[in-house]
Amino acid sequence: MPGPILGYSSAMDADDSLEALHGVYQRWPKIDLHRHLPGAIPFDTWWRIVREKGVTLPSDDPAELRRRMSISGKHDLKTFLKCFDLVDLVYVDAETIEQLTYEVIADAARDGLIYLELRYSPTRMAASAGISTAAALEATIAGRDRALAGHDITVELIAGLSREMGVERCTAEAKVIAGYAGRGIAGIDLLGNEIDYPASWYAPIFRPLAEEGILGITIHAGESSSAQSVADAILELGATRIGHGVRAEEDPAVLALVRERGVTLEMCPTSNVQTQATADYDTHPLPRYHRDGIRVTINSDDPSISQIDLAHEYATATALMGMSPAEVQATLYTAVEAAFTAEETKERLRAHLDQFFATETA
């Protein structure tokens, strides 16, 4: 493990160290396995496009719309998810979906990400745009491919099923998504309201996909719902990664299952505090999980809605949650191992990290 990170002193107070560490971590190569495309659209981009497309909005005041599309302070998951009702208004056609995908990836590349997994509900996009789910998938794949041609970043796409659609609709949509496995879609996710739509309902959809092994499976669980939802996602849906998993520690048997199976938890500190998955940063289980041998990664979730970037999350983990920079660095290598991408890509990412940390640490 390398030595101390340049520019950081453990003697700094929390506010000073957060600001200083943000600057340090901005220089780091970063990896995000849990970022939602809608929640990563910069407001200025959203505002420009809705005006260009003549979208009818509930307000003509951009400051008011920005406020309604972002979260500060602590709320609950349902309040957090309401922000997307406004975001979705921007999906007016396939061309716009492609452009937004391009711009979100370009923004991530400018922010120093070397690898990104971008997830979204193609069905929800399609409904807003009045197009088919297949057309929405093709638009995001085209936007991704165009972004990769002009930016130094690797991106895989994860298509999500919204729980609120119900099992029957999700079953039909999963078949469409599976048709794009290996053709631009690397993984599949279960999104939305965990409490009213438990993961176990969707096992008949995900179990066959897990057996076929054609898509990586990550499931939102243990964020607003109980530790049991994490166990269900692993045992019944075949998840190898869990979106959040904050509440897994409520049941020691579930936490043992996560550890024994080598399941990776995609943790998002600021989002987890904002949705009250955990009471505050100092109660967040990320450091405990890491030190207890649980595979964890640090991610941004919805950076535009949470008004943060990934460097902020790394800085928060160190300044407010007590993780050392070396521990944050270790989560980057965990992210490489857990990524839904080819082994040759993982080898290239490891080499990139190795080279950076060999020169940036003392």
Please compute, for residue 130, the number of CA atoms within 13 A of its CA located in the half-sphere on the CB side: 3
Indicate whether 333 pLDDT > 50. yes
Q: Is 109 left (phi over 0), alpha (psi -120 to 50) or beta?
A: alpha
Non-local CB neighbours of 92 within 8 Å, separated by 6+ positions: 53, 55, 128, 129
Q: pLDDT > 90: what percent of the chain?
A: 84
- Asked, for residue 212, whether it belongs to a domain, the answer is yes
pLDDT, tens digit (0-9, with 9 covering 90-100), for 263-272: 999 999 999 9
User: Is residue 125 included in any domain, yes or no?
Assistant: yes
Does pLDDT of 313 surpass 90?
Answer: yes
Residue 235 lies in a domain: yes
pLDDT at 70: 82
Q: CATH code at 237?
A: 3.20.20.140
For residue 3, is pLDDT > 50? no
What pLDDT is attached to residue 75? Answer: 66
Mean pLDDT of 20-49: 95
Separate counts of helices (H) and strands (E) for the chain: 17, 8
Give the Cα separation of 55 and 44 in Å (integer).
Answer: 15
pLDDT tens profile 118-149? 999 999 999 999 999 999 999 999 999 999 99
Q: Reply yes or no on whether 223 is catalytic.
A: yes
318 falls within a domain: yes
**Domain for residue 4, yes or no?**
no
Domain extent, residue 40, equals 14-355
Sign (positive/negative) of CA torsion 181, 182, 185, 189? positive
How large is the average pLDDT for residues 142-170?
97
Q: What are the pLDDT digits (tens) for 294-303?
A: 999 999 999 9
On whether residue 331 sits in a domain, the answer given is yes
Among candidate residues 223, 249, 266, 327, the one labeled active-site is 223
Does residue 194 surpass a pLDDT of 50? yes
Number of domains the chain contains: 1
Alpha-carbon distances of 86 from 21, 46, 50, rounded to whole Å: 33, 10, 11
Residue 1 within any structural domain of the chain: no
Mean pLDDT score of the chain, rounded to an integer? 92
Nearest CA among 253, 251, 245, 303 for reference residue 277: 245
pLDDT at 1: 37
pLDDT tens per residue, range 66-122: 988 887 767 666 667 777 888 999 999 999 999 999 999 999 999 999 999 999 999
Q: Is pLDDT of 7 > 60? A: no
Provide the pLDDT confidence category of residue 276 given band limits of 50, 70 and 90: confident
**Whether residue 229 has pLDDT greater than 60:** yes
CA geometry: angle at 246 spanning 343 and 177, to 5°?
50
Per-residue pLDDT, 315: 97
* pTM beyond 0.75: yes
> Are 69 and 83 within 8 A, CB to CB?
yes
Residue 5 lies in a domain: no
